[in-house]
Amino acid sequence: MELTPEQLAMLERQRAYFSSDELTRDRAALWADATPEECLAAAAESCNEAAFFLGRMSSDELARALAPDPLPDDTIAILGELCRRR
């Protein structure tokens, strides 16, 4: 499948938006006037949605989804050096 120049341009605009500060500002603007109660209700709703989708996974899928990303080797080296300095 080959993409047209218009499709490629649209994908580039999407990529740029999703990696921009504009997206963060747009998302933050939704909550600018929200009360703490509204923020808490939205957080609880997100947690319920996550629980629903995680509950649909097999135990193997769930274990993979919840496993932390491994630390990069350079981060491990930095942490090791910090421990040795103590």
25 and 39 part of one domain: no
40 and 28 part of one domain: no
40 and 14 part of one domain: no
26 and 53 part of one domain: no
Residue 31 near residue 39 (C-beta atoms within 8 A): yes
20 and 39 part of one domain: no
Separation of alpha carbons 72 and 55, rounded Å = 30
pLDDT tens-digit series, residues 31-79: 999 999 999 999 999 999 999 999 999 999 999 999 988 999 999 999 9
Read off the pLDDT band of 1 (50, 70, 90).
Answer: confident
pTM beyond 0.75: no
Give the residue numbers spanning the domain of 46: 34-86
Judged against a pLDDT cut of 90, whether residue 12 lies above it is answered with: yes
Q: How many domains does the chain have?
A: 2
Say what the pLDDT of residue 62 is: 95
49 and 81 part of one domain: yes
Residue 43 near residue 35 (C-beta atoms within 8 A): no
Say what the pLDDT of residue 86 is: 81
Tokens standing for residue 59 = 């135990």
